[in-house]
Each structure stands twice: as structure tokens, then as C-alpha cells.
Amino acid sequence: MSDSITTHAEVPSARRVVVKVGSSSVSGANAAQIPILVDALAAAHARGTEVILVSSGAIATGMPYLRLDGRPTDLATQQAAAAVGQNVLIFRYQESLDRHRIVAGQVLLTAGDLENAAHRTNAQRAMERLLALRILPIVNENDTVATHEIRFGDNDRLAALVAELVGADLLLLLSDVDALYTRPPHEPGAERIEVVTPDDPLESIEFGGIGFTGVGTGGARTKVSAARFAAAAGTPVLLTSTEHVADALAGVELGTWFAAETARTPTRTR
């Protein structure tokens, strides 16, 4: 397998892939997409790819159990919803993964964990060991203890930081839109951007509400920022919709490809 991929066609040969899925794709009525997502991850896992899933959705999943009609705005209720929702979310993933005889490992992180050298090393060591044991790590922000001051703010950024942490060969950012467009895709004249090079200023983009449905915190701007960060660290990024995850991991040319700024061989810590 290759340590550096540059095109869609090379995605199936990626040794290590980080996949990020947003709240709107795995909560509420869209919780039915979890088996579809899991089947795609399991197919990559079966061919030997090391897969790390960064999944939002704890707060959104917990909301119905707290009888909340909308995403809570106060920190304490967010923490309570996350505590309930994370448990249910992991159960749903594991229930689906059981069909493929894959075991999930839960990894909860705060921004402080990746800024603290000792915590960062421990997180890296744990994920490396999980991958070596063929466990599928499922990463989320530790919303139960995170505060407004130290939160990642959205899991796009968390996914980019995890990709850097583990030296991923690809970061796959999934949302409810199939690619990056020059303007919100529902507007007339919106054009899909196929490739973003490191020196592309993206001046033609009018940022809109990609991936924002009221239950998440991400948007087009955060996805572009996360993709730029990962690409600058040497990890190419593919942005597409959750419904296209199987095709994306199979190497079909779709979505928006952010080319890596530098080629590098990922560092493995065993």
C-alpha cells in the first residue's frame, strides 16, 4: 500500500483513512444512514485499510431523550445531552458493526488533550494500539467535560487534528452536500469545485450553509478551514456527502479533492 495518495483512484490503496461524519448525517431520521456508513467503513477495513471514524452527533442523538425540540444553548444541558447521546450513538455504531464482526473503540478528546504534550502522546499511543488490534476507533469531542473556551467548535477541525496526529493518508469529510460549490448549491449558477490546490485562494466562493441543519455546528467555512489544515500537514482531503461514502472509499471520482501541500510518510507510534 502507498503512503501518499494524490488521486481518487488511489484511495482504495490508502493505508490509513480518517472519516468524519456530521450530526445531521447520523441523528434523527438520518440515523438510518449509520448502517450505510458502517458498510462502507467495513469494506475498507476488510481490504486492510486502517479506519478511524470521527463522528459528531452525541448532543443531537441525546436531545429526544431529554425531551428537547432544539439544540440546547446552555453548556450544562449540552453536556447532559452529550452524556446520554454518546452512549446511544456508540451502541448504534457497534450494533451495525457487529454484522461485520468489527469492534469499535471509543475515544473522547478535548482541545486541551491535543494541546498538552503528554495527553497528545497518550491519545496517539491508544489509537495506534487500537488500529494494530484491528479495532475501529470512533472519535468524538468529549462534550461532557469540554467548556466553551476549550471546545474544538466543530468536528471538522477535530478530524483534521486527528488526521495529523495519526499521519493519515486521507481525510474524508462527509456532510449533507456532495461537494464544495462556488455558492450554496441550491442557488442558481452554483458550480462544483473539483480540485483545490494548496495555492488556490478560493476567492470565487460565496460561503453558505453547507452541512448546517440546526443540530450541528459546522458549515462550508469550517470544512474548508479543516481541509486546508490537513492538506498543509500532508494529508489530502476529499469532501463529499455521506450517501456517497462507499463510492468515495472505492476510488470513484466525486466531491471536492483538496491536494496535499507536501508528500510525507506518516509516522507510526507502536
**Would you say 27 is a known binding-site residue?**
no
What does DSSP say about strands 16-21 and 50-55: parallel, antiparallel, or unpaired? parallel
Q: Tell whether residue 154 is among the known ligand binding residues.
A: no
pLDDT in the model for residue 114 = 85
Question: What per-residue confidence (pLDDT) applies to 230?
Answer: 95
Say whether pLDDT at 261 is over 60: yes
Instruction: Strands of 39-100 (E only): list them.
Output: 50-55
Determine the pLDDT at residue 153.
Answer: 61
Residue ranges making up the domain that contains 59: 8-258
Partners of residue 51 on adjacent β-strands? 17
pLDDT greater than 80 at residue 193? yes
pLDDT per residue as tens digits for the range 220-252: 888 999 999 999 999 999 999 999 999 999 999
Mean pLDDT along residues 142-170: 82
> 13, 35, 31: which is closest to 22 by C-alpha?
31
244 falls within a domain: yes
Residue among 8, 47, 55 at smallest CA distance from 170: 8
Judged against a pLDDT cut of 90, whether residue 112 lies above it is answered with no
Mean pLDDT of 108-115: 85
Q: Answer whether residue 266 is part of any domain.
A: no
pLDDT at residue 2, as a whole number: 43
Task: Confirm or deny that 20 is annotated as ligand binding.
Answer: yes
Query: 67-73, long-range: CB within 8 Å, 24+ apart, which pairs?
Result: 70/214, 71/214, 71/215
Q: Does residue 267 fall inside a structural domain? A: no
| 56 is an annotated ligand-binding site residue | yes
Find the mean pLDDT for residues 244-270. 80
> Is the model's pLDDT at 212 over the cut of 60?
no
pLDDT the model gives residue 17? 98
Look at 58-62, 77-81, 197-201, 264-268 and tell me which has the smallest mean pLDDT. Answer: 264-268
Q: Is position 3 within any domain? A: no
Mean pLDDT, all residues of the chain = 87
Was 23 annotated as part of a binding site? no
Q: Looking at the domain assignment, is residue 264 inside a domain?
A: no
Whether residue 13 is annotated as binding a ligand: the answer is no
Lowest mean pLDDT among 95-99, 150-154, 178-182: 150-154
Task: Let me know if residue 263 belongs to a domain.
Answer: no
pLDDT at 150 over 50: no
pLDDT of residue 202: 81
Domain containing 121 — which CATH number? 3.40.1160.10
Q: What are phi and psi of 221, to 5 degrees?
A: -60, -45
For residue range 36-64, what is the model confidence (pLDDT) as tens digits? 999 999 999 999 999 999 999 999 999 99
For residues 201-219, average pLDDT: 57
The alpha carbon of 12 is separated from its chain's Cα centroid by a whole number of angstroms, namely 18
Whether residue 2 lies inside any domain: the answer is: no
Q: How many domains does the chain have?
A: 1
